[in-house]
Amino acid sequence: MVELLVPVDGSKPAERAVRHAIKLVAGGLKARILLLNVQPELPRSRSRAERRSDMLQQLEEADQAMHSAVALLERAGVTWERCLRSGAPAETILELARERHCAAIVMGTRGLGAVAGLVLGSVAAKIVQLAPVPVTLVK
């Protein structure tokens, strides 16, 4: 069984990417979905108590960002796993894809217009350029 990496941030495009990954599995692809949420790196200069509080806050934010994706996956009955990482989004996504030997990355884009598409110096553009595996962008 292969793994499809599906990064989610709670946005509608990310939800559509989850739906697309579910369709792939429902269509016969023998895959497990690796659901990833990337949170910002925590500042190191804070006290231990502050860092703990920040970590708890990040866990809550990750749960919120993954909520609809998890509901879709559970309803579909596909095999999936949740992963939370912190760091720069594109680099973190690429690192996990390499570590887990994912077969592909399925991710949403922001449905921005033509001008925004030209400056898609976003996470999606970086992933497409540097990914070691096929990338499907779902609008």
**Measured between alpha carbons, how far is 123 from 139 in angstroms, rounded to an integer?**
14
pLDDT at 107 over 90: yes
Cα dihedral 38/39/44/46 (nearest 10): -160
What pTM value is reported for the model?
0.89
CATH at 123: 3.40.50.620
pLDDT at 122 over 60: yes
**Measured between alpha carbons, how far is 42 from 49 in angstroms, rounded to an integer?**
13
- Interval 28-37 mean pLDDT: 97
Task: Please give the tally of structural domains in the chain.
Answer: 1
Q: Which domain holds residue 16?
A: 2-138
Q: How far apart are the first and last CA of the chain?
A: 26
pLDDT at 114 over 50: no
Helix H or strand E encompassing 115: helix 114-118
User: For 39-49, how does the pLDDT look when each residue is reduced to its tens digit (9 = 90+)?
Assistant: 998 877 778 88
Q: What is the DSSP letter of 132?
A: S
